[in-house]
Amino acid sequence: MSEPGPGTRVVRAGLPEPEQGEPFLPGPVFAAPFHLSGDPHAAPAAYTRYGNPTWARYEEAVGSLESAEAVLFSSGMAAVAALLLTLLKPGSVVTMDSGCYHGVRVLAAAHLEPRGVEVRLAPPVELAEAAEGADLLWLESPSNPELEVYDIAALAARGVPTVVDNTTAGPLLQQPLDLGAQYGLTSATKTMSGHADLLLGYVTARDPERVQALRDWRRQAGALPGPFETWLAHRSLPTLALRVERGCDNALAIARLLAARDDVEGVRYPGLPGDPGHDIARRQMSGYGVVVSFDVGSAERAERFLTAARLVTDATSFGSVHTCAERRARWGGDAVPEGFIRLSAGSEETADLLADVERALDGA
């Protein structure tokens, strides 16, 4: 039999071998210490900061989707901090795309620069040049919220160890390690878990030493995922391909609707043939994701749109089964216009969503 496709693999990823009378996915293991006598290193589990069977199952599952090892953390930002603080030391240089998730830039300014790390923020066209001589290249593709698409293979080929924040794409749509990056980073808070009910994050890598360094950091710093959140995320994994497929279809349909209107500007969706990132996205992604961004002209109009929409929940974050959107400038921190909206398409029926978006825009 040929190797099953990713949509098949997610259904059973990380499940134990079938055992008579046992559940498909064993329940979460809640334990601080485990029973332990004698040598702690020989024990299957000793203390949850050192490891937990519920994490191990989920890590095996998400790692297998990238043919890599995965190290799970309590949130996407905990995974970001683990990478930045283990890879960089005083005197190091990190180059970041200036449109990467603002939490990453805030962390870099608050905790890297004061420790003597040079942080070079570069816009898309200058990123390759700014990576010259750096110790680490950090990029996010497609970026949140502006949906810039970077040529991962070309940038990673420059020889600087590269991290790709893969959160907006996820492993079913994009494989950063296959494209040459040393690390993939995913906030599993978003599409991976997909139900707007937990925070988690993980790093993928193929070099055992790098993986061990991240596990050591997790144990030392204590950025530990909760077993219940981990179990919920694993519980949601079998539907990932279905959710992503429906979300991508809905995102494309909404992007087309928006692009056809003359009262909406700057529609960005890598799946639109006219999008500046489309050609690269077509080469390196197998789908274009669930996030669409656009500008309705003013903060007031954006707020009216969000209030009028019934099937689009005004909330931050993305990747849930519920279609959500927000006026991104309300947070500050991103170089976006006041009327800029980031919309995350969920799993509702396409026709219902289109009708709702159209009606809310007409009324706004």
- Residues forming contacts to ligand PLP in the complex (CB under 6 A) are 75-77, 101, 103, 140, 144, 165, 167-168, 187, 189, 199, 201
- Select 176 or 201, whichever has its Cβ closest to ligand PLP: 201
Query: Cβ of residue 301: shortest distance to ligand PLP, in angstroms?
Result: 25
Structural contact between residues 100 and 146, judged by C-beta atoms closer than 8 angstroms: no
- Number of residues assigned to the chain: 364
Annotated catalytic, 190? yes
Of 315 and 354, nearer to ligand PLP (C-beta) is: 315
The answer to whether residue 49 is catalytic is yes
Q: Which of 9, 190, 218, 342 is catalytic?
A: 190
CB of 38 to ligand PLP, least distance (A): 38
CB atoms within 10 A of CB 33: 10
Cis amide prior to 145 (ω within 30 degrees)? yes
Residue pair 207/336 in contact by the 8 Å Cβ criterion: no
Which CB, 55 or 101, lies closer to ligand PLP?
Answer: 101
Neighbouring-strand partners of residue 341: 294, 327
How far, in Å, CA of 145 to CA of 163, rounded?
18
Residue 77 vs 134, nearer CB to ligand PLP: 77
CB of 189 to ligand PLP, least distance (A): 4
Query: Least distance to ligand PLP from the beta carbon of 319, Å?
Result: 9
* Residue closer to ligand PLP (CB basis): 97 or 356: 97
**How many of the other CB atoms lie within 10 Å of CB of 254?**
26
Distance (Å, rounded) from C-alpha 350 to C-alpha 344? 13
Token representation of residue 84 = 């930045």
CB 214 within 8 A of CB 71: yes
- Break the chain down into helix, strand, coil percent, rounded to 5: 40, 15, 45
**Closest approach of ligand PLP to the CB of residue 101, in Å:** 4
Q: Rounded CA gap, 8 and 5, in Å?
A: 5
**Known catalytic membership, residue 165:** yes
Q: Look at residue 230 and give its three-state secondary structure.
A: helix
What is the rounded distance in angstroms from the CA atom of residue 143 to the CA atom of residue 147?
4
Nearer to ligand PLP, 146 or 275 (CB): 146
Residue 80: CB minimum distance to ligand PLP, A = 6
Q: What's the rounded Cα separation, in Å, for the pair 181 and 100?
A: 16
**Which residue in 101, 150, 183, 202 is the catalytic one?**
101
| Residue nearest ligand PLP by beta-carbon distance | 76
Distance CA 144, CA 290 (A): 11
**Residues classed as catalytic:** 49, 101, 165, 190
